[in-house]
Amino acid sequence: MSRQAWVLVVIAGILAIATLVGAVVLAVRVVRTRRLLTGLGAGGKVAFYGALIYTIFPVDVLPDPIYLDDMGVLAAALIYLTRLVQQRRASGSQLPDQPDAQPGRGRVRRRVP
């Protein structure tokens, strides 16, 4: 093989590893939101499990060495789950992993002279 062909193979390998690492990082972030699923309703559960099944399932839109579609699905699920958590917190609903006291409440304020 020529030098240019080797350079292309190395670059393709680096890109494949980088997309794999990106997909794994997104999958870990989505899995960490699992503890909040009981408070997010059916839509949150469908987004969570659907994203994980799509990522693990061998049939994809793009072939498996290219993880861009998996990363897109995981990122979309993570964005959706984050918005659901923000909506629940804004409405005042208690999420399962949330402490009993709201941050900032119960603190004593000192008077400024």
pTM (predicted TM-score): 0.60
CA dist 43 and 50 (Å) reads 10
pLDDT of residue 65: 67
Q: Is it the case that residue 28 has pLDDT exceeding 70?
A: yes
DSSP assignment of the chain, as one string? --HHHHHHHHHHHHHHHHHHHHHHHHHHHHHHGGGGGGGTHHHHHHHHHHHHHHHHSS--SS-TT--HHHHHHHHHHHHHHHHHHHHHHHHTPPPTTS-SSPTTTTPPPPPP-
Higher per-residue confidence, 80 vs 108: 80
CA dist 93 and 87 (Å) reads 9
> Per-residue confidence at 3, pLDDT binned at 50, 70, 90?
confident
Mean pLDDT of the chain: 77
Per-residue pLDDT reduced to its tens digit, 38-69: 777 888 888 888 888 888 887 777 776 677 78
pLDDT of residue 97: 55
